[in-house]
Structure 1
Amino acid sequence: MTDYFFSAPSLRQLSTTKVVPYAPSTAFAALSDLSAYERATSLIYRSSVTTKDGNGLPKTAKLDVGYPALYLNETWLCHVKCDRTKRTVEVTPAGSEFQSSVVESYLMRWTISPVANDKGQAEIKLNLEVKFKGPMVDSMFAVLPDVAGRIMYRFSALVEAQDKKEKEAAKKKPVPAKKAASSPAPKAPAAKSVSVAKAPALKAPAEPAMTPAKRIPKKLEVRSQSTGAKQQAS
């Protein structure tokens, strides 16, 4: 017992796996959001992303850690490696910038993969490594029940919240209007041919029949001529 308390703690390695009914992309979005870690566990009471990489994923982060039983209240600066293609998220101490009175080193790695033959589910694996500076804290950690399982349970709640967030955003997204199929312009109805009755041709009025003049009898003609001669003689 005396040798245990005075010996340097060894590196503790824990792991657990859980299948969640959410898409792998949703699980990756939730677990790569370091600013949401404060909602997953009471050990981290404040979390923020300080820098991002070229893909907009966290590169460095700051975790404010508190553990009342140990009078622990520290700020941990972290390196973050996110790989969207492999769907991995790894959180480690930020080298010499990392300062802690109880933890010498740690590693938290999330690995996400689709469930075989089921595109609607994801398998999440957690690998946790931690090495404490003193044997007392290490012994307290050793007796905690199912540390990895409890961490997985709390962080899977972040995945569920991310799924709800994505569904709400999809509902609010405007649906593009469907283009109406181009149809030929309706043809104008053909003009109906209206038969116009032809006006009857006007007939020229018939010319009155010419009554032939009555011919004067020759005897009268002679008399008139003789009468005229007598008048001239007188």
Structure 2
Amino acid sequence: SESIGLPPNSITSPEYSIQVGVKHFAAVFKKAGGDVRLTLQSYNYGGGFIDFVKKRGGKYTKALALEFSRFQALKLGWRSYGDPNYVDHVMRYLKGGGTVKPVNGAMEGYETVMNEALKYEGDPYQWAGSTPKTGFDCSGLVQWAYRKAGISLPRTAQEQYGATKKIAESEAVAGDLVFFTGTYKGKFITHVGIYVGEGRMYNSNDSGVQYSDLKKGYWRDHLVSFGRIKN
């Protein structure tokens, strides 16, 4: 009801409420450029959040959601503003209750790895972070999640690269690792992610813990190889 300028709870018909809600969601989705997480948080906060994010890199992160909530609460003199966890609340239903469905051909233990890793989706990247308490950098998230499946990996992306068997992209299955170079000045391998299939990975990067596209763009340009954990 608020999306069409009416007071809260003005619409009493469930069917009409859904129609209005979907129409509003579609408009926000278009303004957000198809970014589902930015759309969801803006559906909760209002379209002003999209403008706020676009001035700060243009991509949704949990850190920006928290910053906007604090900013608006201070501006309006309220104790709180919106729900910074709105994306998490909605996405867990999309993921089927927060669990990963089996993937044909995936690495043994893949579901366990991803069920753990997905707990931290949307969290901010943390340099040198390796636990839920500290937050995660790229290799810290990989090491932590695979440990939950009984798989021991070294700490850094370079070391994890050395601990895997290099495979062609055409051979890669969900649960393999994918390695990158040149994402910052340092060692040869500077970033690692969990391959989830269909040209995507799950990783902790400067935009937070999230899924990323490997088919084109930044990550494609820096991709080195895929790696399979040695038995």
**TM-score surpassing 0.5?**
no
User: Which structure has the highest helix share of the two?
Assistant: 2
Q: Which has the higher contact order (CA 8 A, sep 6+)?
A: 1
Q: Please give the range of the TM-score, normalised by the shorter of the 2 chains.
A: under 0.3
Work out which of the two has the higher radius of gyration on C-alpha atoms and give 1 or 2.
1
User: Which structure has the highest strand share of the two?
Assistant: 1
TM-score by length of 1: 0.23
